[in-house]
Amino acid sequence: MSFDLVFFGGTGDLTWRKLMPALFQAFRHGKLPEGGRILAVARDEQSDARYREWLKERFREVDAGKRPSDEEFERFAGLIHYRRMDLSQPEHYQGLKEWLDARNADTVVLYLATSPYLFTGICQQLGAVGLNHDRVRVVLEKPLGHDLASAQEINRTVRSVFSERQAFRIDHYLGKPSVQNLMALRFGNALFEPLWRRESIANIQITLAEQLGVGTRGAFYDGTGALRDMIQNHALQLLTMIAMEPPASNDADAIRDEKLKVLRALKPFTRESVGRDVVRGQYRAGMCGGQPVPGYLEEVKVPPDSTCETFVALRTEVQNWRWAGVPFYLRTGKRLAARDAQIVVNFRPVPHQIFPGASLPNRLVIKLQPEDGLELQLLAQKGAGAGEQLTPVSLDLDFDKAFATQRVGAYERLLLDAIAGRLNLFVRSDEQEQAWRWVEPILDAWNADGNGPRPYAAGAWGPAAASALVARDGFSWAEEQ
């Protein structure tokens, strides 16, 4: 199958840090279909050869395991081309169309690795020159809008040019192997699904924690914040996969229909409930990884009076028969105690205790990063004698070790799916808009609140109020148990 893959924003950070290394891995693993061309477009004036040299230098900055040898890069670079484009000039789109039409590949994938404010203009120009025929797919990188109104405007423009089956809204968390295994865990095994309900589960915690600060992205981050950057997309997508009903098939729309039902069933926020069930924080100077680090207000390009949140913890519920009364806790932040992304399913305690001493309920930990695997925490006896207390033991599965030679990175998987036209791991427009609809009352409440975010020291797990949020229900975060 011949394909042309076009990166708008071909000299941007996303392209050289994530997309090109992911494509190279697919090439190295023999998974990239033959007959492909990769075209980078940007405003700079340069040749194919100069762009390839520039990209080769950038590859020196990616993880060592993802760097090509000189021989590998030469073979990979043979697929790469460069074209100068000013995205505001209609004639440049016509030139792109002529370049693509000259080969007439089976599939054309147009990846918009640009600022989202350019999405509408690019899509309109693509439609004007006819680059929206049925062999074309458009990939939209997050963030898709700044609020519900802007997301709807982007979607209206995209729908006026492309059909829904041509639009691939990317959330790279959905490409992580551990996230894909949520589906396999629930719907490919008979063990868990009978227990996956309110009668057996006490609460579910989703944590997306980073040790890094905002670095050089202060200007961008200050206009975004943790709620928009992580909760509205990544965390809610994980919640839908945990809480969804079994789909009728592995078809993309069957899966996305069930995810949408979860988003619509989420308990809506009011001004009062935001104050009670949502905690926002902002990091101050502290210690991370044994090193002193500045506070958010001292970061480059961050206004000294910023009220942007770098931490969010919230409590919600899925209001349906399966999950009625089960709290879902979502938490994300920068400059936290560890880089840790995981989902913790806390089961209810046994109804009648016959063993001496206190015992912890069972829990299932789904590890997303830095480790990738499953840990099932059980209780057992050591066999030391009569009257012995139970001891926690773990069944631990490390996916990287179990499938060491077959792992595919998130962007690698999603790029291959876009080329093949598989929509299962991409977000549909109604899902995306419903997620914005759910978070908007939080944004509105914060805009009306003059108190601003709560401070927390870098290297902590966020403000103390985040622990109190969970303790109010008689629970605690996983690291506090």
The per-residue pLDDT for range 372-383, each reduced to its tens digit, is 888 999 988 887
Q: Which structure tokens are listed for 143? A: 């963030």
At 405 the pLDDT is: 66
Distance CA 159, CA 147 (A): 18
137, 166 contact by CB (below 8 A): yes
123, 153 contact by CB (below 8 A): no
At 132 the pLDDT is: 96
One-letter amino acid of 38: I
Q: Residue 98, class by beta-carbon neighbours within 10 Å (0-12 exposed, 13-18 middle, 19+ buried)?
A: exposed
Distance CA 416, CA 170 (A): 12
At 173 the pLDDT is: 86
Residues involved in catalysis: 234
At 177 the pLDDT is: 80
At 157 the pLDDT is: 95
Distance CA 409, CA 19 (A): 11
Instruction: Report residues of the chain scoring pLDDT below 70.
Output: 384-386, 404-407
At 195 the pLDDT is: 94
At 65 the pLDDT is: 77
At 407 the pLDDT is: 67
